[in-house]
Amino acid sequence: AFCIGLIVFSFMGLTQITNDEVHDLCESSQLWVFQLTYLVSNFMMSASGKGVSKSDGSAIVSYFLALGICVAWTTWGWVEMTRPCVESLSGTLLYKSAMAATVFYSSFLGVLVCIPCLAFFLLKNKE
How many whole angstroms separate alpha carbon 116 and alpha carbon 119?
5
Confidence (pLDDT) at 19: 92
How many whole angstroms separate alpha carbon 18 and alpha carbon 26?
12
Mean pLDDT score across all residues of the chain: 84
- Tens of pLDDT, residues 94-105: 999 999 889 988
Q: How far apart are the first and last CA of the chain?
A: 40
Does residue 68 carry a pLDDT above 80?
yes
pTM of the model: 0.77
